[in-house]
Structure 1
Amino acid sequence: MWLVVETRIGDKASVETPFPTLSGVNFPSYRFISMEKWLRKRLCLEEDNSPAAAQLIRLTYMRICGLILEAIGWLLCITATGADEWRVWHSNNLPGISNGKLWIGIWRVCFIVDLHDDEPMKMHCLEFLEQYKSLPKEIFIAQDLMSLASVVLSLAMAFMSFALWNVFKNVRQKNVLLILFRVGGILTLLSGLIILLPLSWNMYNVIANEGILFPEPFNLPYLPYEQTVGFAIYVGFSASGILILSSFFILSKKYQITPNRVHPIIIVTPEPSTSRSETETCIRFGSLVSVDKTISEEQHFNS
C-alpha cells in the first residue's frame, strides 16, 4: 500500500510549503514590499529565505516602528514639560491683566499685561522658584518627574539607536543586541509610566477646582471663578500612551504573520490488483479469487 501526502494552499496544490515571508502577504502598498527589499539588502539577507531570516526582518520592522513611536513620544513629552498651559484660569478684575486669563504651567505662570491702546500686547511670565514654599507640591514634583522622564527617554533612544545601528552593520552578537533592545524598551515603558503621575495629579486638582497660593509678589488670586485643563496635560497623556505602545513594539519577542491555512490531502493508493493468470473462478460462487492468497490461507489453517 502506498501513502501519498499532498499539501494544498488555497486553491493551488504544492508538494512543500515554504516559510511565509512578508512579501508573500497581500499588502496593498508597494512601498512596504520595497522597504522589505531594502531591509534584506541592509541585513545581507537577499538570498536567504530561511525562517530565521524572515523572523529577523519582522523583528527589525517592529524595532523600527518602536523607535519612530519613541521619537514622537519624546517630542510630545518635551512639549508638555515646557508648555505653560497645564491649567487655564479665568478671573475678573485682576489688576494689570487685560483679559483676566492666566496660563499656569509647572515652571511659571503667564498672562497678558494690560497696556495702552497704542502699544502691542505683551506676555509677562513669573517664574516658580524653590524658595516659594507656598506653591503646591504637585508643581515641584511635576518638574522633577517630567525632567526625569525626558532624561530616561533620551537614554532609551540612545540604546535603541545603537542597537539598530549594529543590526544594520550585520553584527552577529545576538545576546548583546537583545540586551540593548530590552534595556531600551524597559526605559521607554518606565518613562511612559513616570509622566502619568504628575499629569494625573495636576488634572485631578483642576477637576476638583483646587486653588494655588501664589507668593505675595505675584499679586494673583488663590482661586479663579473658572479653571480648565490646559492642552499640555492632554499632550502629556498622548506622549505616555505612545511611549507605552512603543515599549510593546520594542519588547515583543516575535511578530507572526499568519499564513494561508494549509489543508493536507491524504491520497491512499490501493495495491495493484492481481493479474488474470493468478486468479481462478470459484466453483461455488463463480467469483475470482487469488490462488496464492487462498493457498497461503489454507496452509496457515492446516498448520
Structure 2
Amino acid sequence: MPYLAHTSHTQFLGLWLGTIGWILIIVTIGLVEWRIWEVSDLSVITSGLAWVGIWRVCFYSHAPILSGREIMFCQRIHLTESFTPPEIVAAQVLMIVSLIFGLMGNASAIYGLRNIYFGLSKFKPIRIAFCSSGVLYILTGVTTMVPIFWNLSSVVNNQTIVFPQSFHMPSAPINQYVGPGITVGIFASSMVVCSGLVFLSYRVPVVLEPEVRPSWPGEGCSGNRSQGINNPAFLTQENI
C-alpha cells in the first residue's frame, strides 16, 4: 500500500522525536544536578557547591571525617524519609510513571507504523495505535513537566531542605541554581509532547478504488453485451 505509507513520513519522524525525548527523560532521572546549592561552610563541602537530585545528594570533599583525599560524597534520598520535600517525592514517583508511559507510547507508535509500512489494509488498528501513542506521549510529557517545574519553582524561591546530620548538608544554601537535570527535563518533555501532537494529527487518507475497467466490445454502460452495430463509413454500396 505505497500511497498509505507515503502519508506517514511525519509520524516516522515523530517516532524518532518521541524516542529521543524518552531517552533524555531517562538521562534526566539519572542526573543528580537538578538543584545546585552554593554553601558558605567549606569545612566539609570543600568545593562550595552541592548537587541536590531526586534520588541523592552529592558534593566533593576532602574533609578528614569523610576521607583523606577529595572524593564525591553522596547520600541517598528515600521516598519515605520525613525530611524529603514534596517536590522530590512527586519527582521520584512521576518520573518513573513518565518512563512507563513513554515506553508504551513507543511501542504503540511502532505497531502503527508496522501496519502501514508492511502494507496491512485495515485502517482501524492504525488509527487506534496512533491515537494511543499520541495520548501516551502527551501523558509522558505532562508527568515529566510537573516535577520539573515544581523543582524549578523551588530553585527560584530558594526553598530549604532540612537534611539529617549524616548528610553533612546545611539546611539552607546561600544561593540555588538550576542544574542540567531540570534543563534536560524541560527539553525532553517538550520533545515528547510535540511527538504526541504529531501522532494525534494523523488522518487516514481516503483511498478511492478505480471504477474504470475495460469493457468488452459491444458492452454498454449497463454491463450487458449488446449486438454490435456496423459503422456506416465502412459500408459498401452493395450493403447500402
Aligned 8 A contact 2:62 2:69 in 1: no
Aligned 8 A contact 2:137 2:196 in 1: yes
Aligned 8 A contact 2:158 2:176 in 1: yes
Partner of 1:207 in structure 2?
Answer: 156
Mapping for residues 153-232 of structure 1, pairs under 5 Å: 153-232=102-181
Amino acid at match of 1:183: S
Partner of 2:238 in structure 1?
Answer: none
How many Å separate the matches in 1 of 2:125 and 2:80? 46
How many Å separate the matches in 1 of 2:150 and 2:7? 37
Partner of 1:81 in structure 2?
Answer: 29
Structure 1 or 2, whichever has the larger Rg, is 1
Mapping for residues 69-148 of structure 1, pairs under 5 Å: 69-114=17-62, 121-148=70-97
Once the two structures are overlaid, the 10-residue window that deviates more, 90-99 or 193-202, is: 90-99
Partner of 2:16 in structure 1?
Answer: 68
Amino acid at match of 1:185: G
Aligned 8 A contact 1:132 1:215 in 2: no
Call closer, same or farther: CA 1:168–1:58 in 2, change over 3 Å: closer
Aligned 8 A contact 1:135 1:215 in 2: no
Amino acid at match of 1:105: G
Residue 252 of structure 1: CA displacement? 1.1
Aligned to 1:228, the other structure's residue is in SS state: strand
Aligned 8 A contact 2:123 2:204 in 1: no
Partner of 1:244 in structure 2?
Answer: 193
Q: Which stretches of structure 1, 4 residues or longer, exceed 4 Å deviation after superposition?
A: none
Amino acid at match of 2:26: I
> What is the number of residues matched between the two proteins?
203
Which TM-score applies when normalising by structure 1? Answer: 0.63
The Cα RMSD (Å) is: 2.1
Residue 120 of structure 1: CA displacement? 6.1
Partner of 2:230 in structure 1?
Answer: none
How many Å separate the matches in 2 of 1:71 and 1:208? 33
Residue 151 of structure 1: CA displacement? 0.6
Residue 216 of structure 1: CA displacement? 2.6
Question: Quick one: percent identity of the two aligned structures?
Answer: 32
